[in-house]
Amino acid sequence: MQLVVLGLGSNKEFNGFSCLELLQKACDKLSKLLANFTISSVYKTKAMYYEDQQDFHNMVVLGYVDDSVNPYAFLERIHEIEALYGRNRALEIRFGPRSLDIDIELFGNWKIQDDILEIPHVRIKERAFVLIPLLEILPESADENIRKDLCDALHTLEVNGCTKDVEKIFLKAACNGTKNYSGS
């Protein structure tokens, strides 16, 4: 089995669904693709790169897929889920507002750098909104070198003040198995 780590984000409503509801719907779909599905808490974060937009709601999920699963085929499934909940890459500003964004952060031992996919995600170490929830749920049994590398990256962001805009808004225990992340 291969460990898969996905970063999820939303900062734009779609069809009457709030950002938190869109994250929940995405988790419902992703839980059918990943064994031993685990979700992090939800964090509210300032937008990066293109800052003239609403704050994001971010989280990380992880689970396992069979060794035969190819990351490119998995990416296609992710894009289908994003489109189902309003994402249209052809009409959006790069790094701009989006109803749902799902990034493959890690996929087993794969290392890919091409125009379609970059694994590990090329910006994972500069994103506190990925590192904080990932380290919250990464199993203790995870590769010791991966854990140390991610912890070191987060420490660097903390030292540089890059974690101050990451605010936990919902605990993972409150999210698991609920119909609405807001608790209502």
Provide the annotated active-site residues.
87, 98, 101, 103
Length of the chain: 184
Burial status of residue 100 (CB atoms within 10 A of its CB: 0-12, 13-18, 19 or more): buried
Burial status of residue 23 (CB atoms within 10 A of its CB: 0-12, 13-18, 19 or more): buried
Q: How far apart, in whole angstroms, are the C-alpha atoms of residue 99 and residue 82?
A: 8
Number of H helices, E strands in the chain: 5, 8
